[in-house]
Every structure is written in structure tokens, then in C-alpha cells.
Structure 1
Amino acid sequence: MKTSFPTGMSVLIVDDEPGMRSFLNKALSKKFALVDTASTITQAEQMRSQGHYDLLIVDIRLPDRSGIEWHEALDDPDRQSDIIFMTGYADMDVAIKALRAGASDFIMKPFHLEQMMTAVDRCIERRLLKRENFMLKRELSHGKASSIIGRSDAMVEVKQVIERVAPTNAVVLIEGESGTGKELVARQLHHLSGRSGPFVPVNCGAIAPELLGSELFGHTAGSFTGAKSSREGLFSFASGGTIFLDEIGEMPMNMQTALLRVLEQRAIRPVGSEKEVAIDVRIVAATNRTLQEEVEAGHFRRDLFYRLNVLNILIPPLRARSEDIVELTHYFTMQIIKEMGMKEVIWSHEDLQVLQQHEWPGNIRELRNMIERCILLGKPPAEYWKVDTKESVPETSGYPLDWPLKEVEKQHVMQVVAAHDGNKSAAARDLGVSRKTLDRKFKEWADVTAPEQEE
């Protein structure tokens, strides 16, 4: 039984026999997106330093030095590549030495193609398992919900659109305010797509612009200061699956150009490499901005916008579907008490009514944080609001109705930062903005309130 792999895999064949290089090149081209060949260790190391290879197939006896002496590959602490050694000399001591040196497998020449393919399959299965483990740890650290809550007409329509577009490989753009659940929609698209690879979320606004290319596409050793070894990017980890580019509107212009090329060529080029690697990755993007306005303002490439906006899903804000708040409240309450090992919490009709009347500028994220605070402090939601029964207008104890919107925003941000004990990065994630945006806000407020210096 043959194993099928995502197309983002690469292999380098190192053998001084032209016939063997040609034979393996033809056989492995059916499984790998990139197959390169070299006749010496020197040539192979030069190629390896310019691009990533998942697998190295190396003859032990080569003109310049033995394959077992290829220390740059064997002693790589990150184990970027699996290695299969070949030899035409039946020497058990050499085989043992090769395996001790770090080889994944050892094959005697001449060999049957099926024997080589079995060894290749084992190596690639290990490589895929390593990628899956990496993404599993990343997924667990996020602790995301697995289903979309809401029975309002607006959410029923969103779910129907998801079901229609999920089975396709088309690019999807998700739009909505911060905290409305754009990542949850992206996860549902992936779940229903039937794609075998992982779901890889990337917050484009949370990664330093100078590092974004390396994070997405990977890099070669020495491509920039601190790049001591080659590394795969998140597009490679998403091979066969879905990559979710959140806050796409925060992406720098030079990276927009690089992403446009990926969409057109279906290939990535690691930073510092001259070679492109084919990918099989579905791209889902999201933004809390209106990208059409960003295009008109010259902040976003028009051609990239058209490539991303093939299928569009607009998620309504929570204030536009207040009928879903009761269901969301029960869901988050059960989720939180289970995570914390606490006793059952039952909210009163007054609590639920007050929650439904609130505007929720932070949307679902704000609702969940509010419920968590109420549970931790043992204080029901009704105690956070005072309702004017004459006009049925909710008023936060901290936000008087005569406050301007900018002051409400400032106080809300301050409360979220305080809830995270001053950790602005964590607060930025909850607020659905980049750390850079949060720092800019604080600077604006400091400039406004700073007293004038005396002469």
C-alpha cells in the first residue's frame, strides 16, 4: 500500500553515479514537490544551505568525502532532514556506523525500488508526525472552541455559507469586528473541508514585520542575523491543510507582494533561498478593517484584495444578534466552570436580560471575559450594570452615558490591560488588535494628558 503525502515535501539525492541519480529522481518525483540531485558532499551542502530538504538520500562513498562525514547535516541539532544512506559495499560495520551517526535508514546496493520507497515512506511519516505534533502543541496553547454558537438568522446564514464554501479550495476572506469569532469560522471551514493537513493560525499583526517572512515561508542558514540553521515556515507546517492569516490588513506592503506571488504560483520561497517549493495549502484570511477602504487609502494592494476576496464571509457583531447571547452565556459558563473545576453556576433572568441589553463593543471575546470575571469574583452580571427602567438603556457603572466614544475606548482598554496585570501583549490578543496598535493608543493618551513643561 503506497502512502500519499502533501506536495510540500522535498528531497536531495547525493550520488556520484549519474544513472542512480536519474533513476531516483524519476521515481521520487511522483511523491515529492521538489527533487534535487548532487554528485558530491560539497555540492550537496551548498544546496542544503540555500533551501530546506525534508529528506537526504546519500551514497556513503563519494569523491570528496564519505557521506558519514557529512557533519553539517548529521550534527544539525534541529534535525531539519531525515537521512537514508546507500552503499554498494556489504560492510555491517559501516552500516552500524551510519546508523550511529544519525541515519534514519541504511540500504544496500543494488536494491529493489520498493525497498527504497518503504524506507522513504517511513522517513516522511516521521516528518509529518513531527509537524503534526508541533501544530498540536500550538493548537492546545490557544484552547479554542470547536463549534459556532448561535441560532439567530444572521448566524444561520453564516453557517450555511460555511457549509457551501468549505469543500472547495478557494481562498476565503472573513470580515468582522474584533472579537466576533473570525478564527472560529476559519476553523470550521477547515474542519468541513476534508483536508488532511493541520489548521495553522497566524496573527499577521502580532509578528514583527521584519520577521513575518521568515515565520511564514521559513529561512536558510545565514539568511539574516541570528539564523544559525535553516527552518521551515508555517506554510510548510500547513502542508495539506489550511493556513489562517488573521489581521491581514496589518501585513506590510512588501509581504503583501510576497503573498500575492504565493497565491499566483502556489509556491513559497524561504528567506535567503533561490528556490521555490510547491505547496498544497488553502488560504483563509481575516480582517477587522474594511479592506476596500484600505485599498482606496493606498494601504493595501488592490490586486491582492481581489485575489483574497474570492469568497467573502461577513460575521455580524454581537449587538446585531442579541438573541444569541443567552446561548453563548450558557456555553461559556459551562466551559469555564469545567476548566476551573468549579461548581455549577446558574444566572438569574435579570442577569441574562442585562447581558442582552449591553452593546458589547468587544463582541464575543468581551462577553466571555465578562462571564469569567463574574464567576471568579462570585458577582452576577446584574451587579455590573444599572438599568434605567424608564428608558431601558443599560449603563456601565464605569462608563457614564455622557462620555465621548474615545473615553469609553480608553477606559475599556485600561480595564482589559489591568485584568492581565499590565501584560499588554495578552491584552492586545483579547482586544483583537496588534501590540503595535495598543502601544500607539497609550502613546496618544500620554501625549494628551502630559503637562506642559515649564520654561
Structure 2
Amino acid sequence: MTLVDRRNRPQSIDVLVVDDEEDIRELLELSLMRMGLACDTAGSVAEARAQLAARRYRLCLTDMRLPDGDGLELVEHIQACQPGLPVAVITAFGSIETAIRALKLGAFDFVTKPVELKALRELVTHALKLRSGESAAVAPERALIGHSPAFLHLRSQAEKLARNQAPVFIHGESGTGKEVIARFIHSLGARAAGPFVPVNCGAISPELMESEFFGHRKGSFTGAASDKEGLFQAASGGTLFLDEIGELPLAMQVKLLRAIQERAVRPVGAHAEEPVDVRLLSASHQDLGRLVAEGRFRQDLFFRINVITLRVPPLRERREDVPELARHILARLAAREGGAPHRLSAEAMRALQGYAFPGNVRELENLLERACALCEGEEIGAADIELHPDPCAAGWLTDSGFGLGATAPHEAPAIEPGMDPTTEAAGDEVERLRILHALEQTRWNRSAAARKLGMTLRQLRYRLQKWGME
């Protein structure tokens, strides 16, 4: 005799529960009914397909092991026949690899057996928000700028990834807008109403990293005058974006892996772990596969965060987007400063579209901001745009994993043909390019760039002020 009273159920059924064990089906159905949701149940793939053909659901929960197949078959079937229906899989404890396969096929999320009701409720809440379109209401009107084929493909991929909870690794050169893509995915997903917490992993002191990520308890170390929540807790219900994840030390990588797998963290000085509910997005300009081979990045963490890889094309691969990006940047600068936006002359636009942009969109923003400050009148001419000699041609953009030359990244770029290296101007230009490259490598972290260049922060600031780059 079933424990669930299915009499007087509403005509609209919210969730389809698929599991071959009757007691599991009843447990899930009771839990969902307490949330005010009506359920149908099925004990096999064939029965689930029949139910899906007969009704429209808002969510499907399916076990991985079924008598006539597995949950992966059901995920593929739903993606083909009802791609807008979120489907979550229930997998045995420790079967993370299977869960990752399901996420790659398009599953929304997964829970492990034995099912924790709190985790189940969180999953269902996020899935129904996505289905109801609640997240779209808070999405920015225009988060991504560009209509080139490469960028349209990227936008399409990002929109698909917004519909599930799979960890995404965003790979691209410095300045391509990896954080913009991460915010776009967050804004279109079920967690859009929750916080988006970006973290530059390379900017956190290794000694403070565990406390920053997981929080600490009062008195756990010298200076811990009160309890402090970590970045995982701050992102609860939303998205945690780990930028430059390749900069994490190995000791922290171990702790991060456990936090991701267990969906729980232990604050420094605490005796027990605390559950956390975050979606993880990560990014790096480095080739993590190469770091794994060199022993600088854990392979198990690499596989865990790299469920799906999203490549952000550099600006030189989407030159047709430069005019639209430039107009957007100029309009934003005008809104910040007040007054009408500056215009680009035809010659200035041609110069921009013919430039390689080693610093990508960030460099375009810097060039236009400088041009707006220096130009006379409302039109920016070609003479107002200070384009740097192409470092790709000089063979010094090598450290980002995109291999465009053989010169070591700390070396100065080659002297331009016809330039007298003994002149002060030539020396200044070489040093300026070297400093610009170091700033791009460190995402414009001046302290880190000064260390890389072997100079003090005050010396770096002096040079930036001298060249009008401060």
C-alpha cells in the first residue's frame, strides 16, 4: 500500500519522478508535496517516455539505474523532444563521473544518494525558477556586444549553459571579457536573483586564501576578532566566479576540490562543515592542460571544473565587432562624464579594425578613453588614437598559452625596423611596451606587474604617470 494519497490531485502535474525503487519514489513525492508540488512517478525508461508524451512537466527527476536502461538515455530523450524541460539525475554517492556525463548531455543538475532533502529542495527551487522564466526578468537587456560569427556562436553556447548547473571553464586571452561572459551566464540562469561573486585567485595572499574562500571563526588565528563568512557563503544561492583559477596554489586546490565535490565548506577554526549552494564558473588565460602536465594544477580538480569549456575568441578573430564595441564604449564613457558621445572618423575606425589588439577589448577601452581625453572636438581622428606596435609581430606574446612567438615573456619586445635603439624615444617605447605586456599578464594588477618587472610600485606608477597611462 502506498503512503502517498494521490486523490484529488490537481490537473497540472509539476514533476515527473523516475526511479525503480518504490520507497525512493514515495520519499521524493512526499518531499515535493510538502513544497506544494504535484508529482507523477515512473519505474522505468519506457514508462517515463509514455508519461512525457502524455503530459507537460516543469521538472523531471530521474535515477541513473533503471530496469530497461539508465537516466542518461532519458536525459538525451528529453533534450531531443522537450529541450526546455529541466532534468536532474539522482546518482549513487561517489559516482561523480556519471553525474558529469549527465551534465555534459544537458542535465540541469544532480543529487547523490542518499538524497538530502535540503539539497533536493534547493535543486527543485532553482529548476522551477528557470522553467518559469523568473531568471529572464532580471537578465540585462544587452549583456554581450557583437554579431560576428565567432561571437554569435559564443553567445549561443552561453545561453545553453545558463540552463543547467554544470561547472563551466571559460578560456580566453587577457582582456577578452571572460567575466562578462560569466555574468551573462549567471543573469540568464535559475540563480539570476542570487549574488554573483567574482574572485581573482591571483590577487589573494596564499596565507589568507583559506579564510577568504571558506570564512573563519572568531579567535581561530591572530587578528580574527569576529566570525567572518567566506566567498562560498557570500555566493550562496548564486554563482561563484573564480577568475585566473590557474594561480591557485596546490594546497588550496585540494581544499577547493573537496568543497566542490561535497558542496560544503569548513570555516577556519570550525569543527564541522557547512553546506553551501553555489554554481561554480571558472576562467583562466592559461592552458590548464599544460599546467596539469607540468604538475602545477591537480588533474582531478581540472576534470571537476572543466565539465564544459567555453572559449572566448580574441578581438583579432572578431574584427567586424570593433565598430559596435567602439560605439558602446564611447556611449558609456559619455554617460560617465556627461555630454554627447564622441564619434570616430572613418580613418580612425579603419585604423582600429586593422589593429591586432593584443590586449583585446580591455585595450580597446583604454585606447578610446585616452582618445576622448586628448582629441579636440567631438570627432576622434586617426591621429588621436595611439596604437602600440603589434607585440604579436615582435614575438613576445607567449606566456598566455597562445604561443605567438619564441621570446620569453619577461624580455623586451623587438625594436621596430628603422628605430634607432640608442635614442631615448626608442628606449621609452620598448620599456612602455614591456610594462604594458606585464600589466596585461597580471590583469592590470600594478603590484604584481611591478614584481614581474623587477621594479618598485612607486617606479611603475611614475612611468605610468609619465606616459599618461595612470
Question: Does the CA-based 8 Å contact 1:178-1:433 persist in structure 2?
Answer: no
Q: How far off is 1:356 after superposition?
A: 0.6
Q: Does 1:166 align with 2:162?
A: yes
Which one has more relative contact order, counting CA pairs under 8 Å at least 6 apart?
1
Q: How far off is 1:355 after superposition?
A: 0.3
Report the equivalent of 1:177.
173
Which residues of 2 match residues 51-450 of structure 1 at below 5 A? 147-195=143-191, 196-378=193-375, 380=380, 382-383=382-383, 396=388, 405=396, 406-408=411-413, 410-412=431-433, 414=435, 428=439, 432=443, 437-443=448-454
Q: How far off is 1:407 after superposition?
A: 2.6
Q: How far off is 1:428 after superposition?
A: 4.7
Distance 2:452 2:180 in 1: 27
Q: How far off is 1:415 after superposition?
A: 5.5
The one-letter amino acid of 2:435's match is M
Q: How far off is 1:412 after superposition?
A: 3.0
Q: C-alpha deviations, 1:143-185, integer Å up to 9, x for none?
A: x996111111111011110111111111110000000000000
Bigger Rg, which one: 1
Question: Does the CA-based 8 Å contact 1:146-1:184 persist in structure 2?
Answer: no
Over the matched positions of the two proteins, sequence identity in percent amounts to 43
Answer with 173-182 or 215-224: which moved more: 215-224
Question: Does the CA-based 8 Å contact 2:412-2:431 persist in structure 1?
Answer: yes
The one-letter amino acid of 1:438's match is A
Question: Does the CA-based 8 Å contact 1:205-1:433 persist in structure 2?
Answer: no
Report the equivalent of 1:6.
none
Distance 1:296 1:402 in 2: 29
Q: Partner of 2:169: helix, strand, or coil?
A: strand
Distance 1:146 1:431 in 2: 28
Q: C-alpha deviations, 1:324-345, integer Å up to 9, x for none?
A: 1111000000010111113331
Classify 1:373/1:257 alpha carbon distance in 2 versus 1 (closer, same or farther; 3 Å): same
Distance 2:247 2:374 in 1: 36
The one-letter amino acid of 1:343's match is A
Q: Partner of 2:454: helix, strand, or coil?
A: helix
Consecutive unaligned residues of structure 2, counting only runs of 5 or more, are 1-33, 36-139, 397-410, 414-429, 458-470
Classify 1:436/1:219 alpha carbon distance in 2 versus 1 (closer, same or farther; 3 Å): same
Question: Does the CA-based 8 Å contact 2:198-2:242 persist in structure 1?
Answer: yes
Question: Does the CA-based 8 Å contact 1:172-1:311 persist in structure 2?
Answer: yes
Question: Does the CA-based 8 Å contact 1:173-1:308 persist in structure 2?
Answer: yes
The one-letter amino acid of 1:268's match is V
Distance 2:228 2:207 in 1: 16
Report the equivalent of 2:48.
none
Classify 1:191/1:357 alpha carbon distance in 2 versus 1 (closer, same or farther; 3 Å): same
Q: How far off is 1:288 after superposition?
A: 0.5
Q: Partner of 2:170: helix, strand, or coil?
A: strand
Q: Partner of 1:205: helix, strand, or coil?
A: helix
Q: How far off is 1:193 after superposition?
A: 0.6
TM-score (norm 1): 0.58
Classify 1:334/1:313 alpha carbon distance in 2 versus 1 (closer, same or farther; 3 Å): same
Question: Does the CA-based 8 Å contact 1:180-1:364 persist in structure 2?
Answer: yes
Question: Does the CA-based 8 Å contact 2:374-2:384 persist in structure 1?
Answer: no
Classify 1:402/1:165 alpha carbon distance in 2 versus 1 (closer, same or farther; 3 Å): closer
Distance 1:400 1:158 in 2: 26
The one-letter amino acid of 1:252's match is P
The RMSD of aligned alpha carbons is 2.9
Moved over 2 A (4+): 398-416, 427-431, 433-437
Classify 1:159/1:352 alpha carbon distance in 2 versus 1 (closer, same or farther; 3 Å): same
